[in-house]
Amino acid sequence: MPHPDGRLSHDFDPSDRPPQDACGVFGVWVPPGEAEAAEVSKLTYYGLYALQHRGQESAGIAVSDGARIVVYKDMGLVAQVFDEPVLNTMRGHVAVGHCRYSTTGSPTWENAQPTLRSTDTGNLALAHNGNLINTPELAARLDPATLVGSSDTEVLTALLATREGGPLAAAAEILPVTRGAFSLVFMDEGTLYAARDPEGIRPLVLGRLERGWVVASETAGLDIVGAQFVREVEPGELLAIDADGVRSQRFAEPRPKGCLFEYVYLARPDTTISGRSVHATRVEVGRLLAREHPVEADLVIPTPESGTPAAIGYAEASGIPYGQGLVKNSYVGRTFIQPSQSIRQLGIRLKLNPLREAIEGKRLVVVDDSIVRGNTQRAIVRMLREAGAAEVHVRISSPPVAWPCFYGIDFATRAELIAGNLSVDEIRASIGADTLGFVSLDHLIQATRIAKDSLCRACFDGVYPIPVDEAARGKHVLEGTRS
């Protein structure tokens, strides 16, 4: 729930936060006669729980009983927003859910999703993962006074709602002129819809319940509700799911450019993307990293938990023993408690603490998934040295992140990215490591088993698959034009 004085949840030190994805989306449809037994609101709750890593600012669920749509949403984690009494009041046979991290529009209640709009045929509720890059152009088609929030999702929902002929016809008209990354789940009173941008930048999958269908950002969202994976929603595809089954149509020709960073950090390790296990990919990256950047050391340790699979691969390929050197406090994350400056100076110790007996006197290889600003790695290296490490060799299972993302990851501007301004050796000196090695872009791509031309690599090489208009850049692009 919102803090009484209006403040929003945040990390202990915003400058240390890892890269964030835009959101997680989930949708479910069951036959109306099965609604009571299926409890679609609870299925959606669990689906969002599995996708919580994709967004921790707000959460929401929309449910329809065939006659009306009810939306419940608020600021906070899924488990903070919903409880059993709330879910028990949300009855119906079709639902969509959303957990948000803001990449367009401020983290406010007005920008929480799903968004809800009335249409000429009823109502429309929509949840979006991604980031549109022609939001000002789309917003120009609308009366600004009709926009409640300041997100690209609000604009897209309003456009879909103002078109005649129902959501399917509206989507077929609007989506072809919508540019950027969008994996959508939306609904009217009786039908579940899903759509994915022509580049397929963000993941979206279709699953089958014993009686019904599920759409989710990741396969982990299917697993938690017992849905069987059917296939990925194809780039440029629009689905409608109702009593007639799953109907598919194309609104654009596919131009696959799946996000490479999903494999590095964003997706859960137990998720599968394009037929490839994310965990297996990360372990393989670790093996390649060991061959690319060998070093004499006594112990390989991960930065938990995101560095763990690559650290396993690095230890396996190098022959250096794998061990635990840092303990993560699983209960530290986002909080409504405002840290004082003295507490903030504790920094990374709020989340990680060293195992002194395991690392004292040892030459360590520390494996992490990425370096964005360098603050976290700098604190970890200092902490390990204070705990008695003889040497600290940092290995990163992604290439240097040197370019911002405009397709749904809240990376900093290029000026704030440490690799956008410093060489590898300068970064090494900045974080205080004895040596520093990044996996090469070619090796990272090799581990995914996906063709280079079918991946978006923009944060690593600056090659943007969808050209970005300078005027459309910025998290608060709509807010800057409104009084």
User: Which residues are documented as binding site for Mg(2+)?
Assistant: 306, 368-369
Q: Among this protein's residues, is 99 annotated catalytic?
A: no
Using H for helix, E for strand and C for coil, what is the string for the chain?
A: CCCCCCCCCECCCHHHCCCCECEEEEEEECCHHHHHHHCHHHHHHHHHHHCHHHCCCEEEEEEECCCCEEEEEEECCHHHHCCHHHHHHCCCCEEEEEEECCCCCCCCHHHCCCEEEECCCCEEEEEEEEEECCHHHHHCCCCHHHCCCCCHHHHHHHHHHHCCCCHHHHHHHHHHHCCEEEEEEEECCCCEEEEECCCCCCCCEEEEECCEEEEECCHHHHHCCCCEEEEECCCCEEEEEECCEEEEEECCCCCCCEECHHHHHHCCCCCEECCEEHHHHHHHHHHHHHHHCCCCCCEEEECCCCCHHHHHHHHHHHCCCECCCEEECCCCCCECCCCCHHHHCCHHHHCEEECHHHHCCCEEEEEECCCCCCHHHHHHHHHHHHCCCCEEEEEECCCCCCCCCCCCECCCCCCCCHHHCCCHHHHHHHHCCCEEEECCHHHHHHHHCCCHHHEECHHHHCCCCCCCCHHHCCCCCCHHHCC
Q: List binding-site positions.
A: 259, 306, 368-369, 405, 456, 459
Q: List binding-site positions for [4Fe-4S] cluster.
A: 259, 405, 456, 459
Question: What is the distance between the alpha carbons of residues 413 and 292, in angstroms, rounded to a whole number?
Answer: 29
Instruction: Report yes or no: 366 and 392 within 8 Å, Cβ to Cβ.
Output: yes
Strands 299-302, 180-187: pairing is unpaired
Bridge partners (DSSP) of residue 364 are 299, 392
Instruction: Report yes or no: 180 and 407 within 8 Å, Cβ to Cβ.
Output: yes
What is the token pair recorded at 428?
């090494």
What is the token pair recorded at 469?
């208009």
In the set 13, 16, 20, 23, the catalytic residue is 23
Active site residues: 23
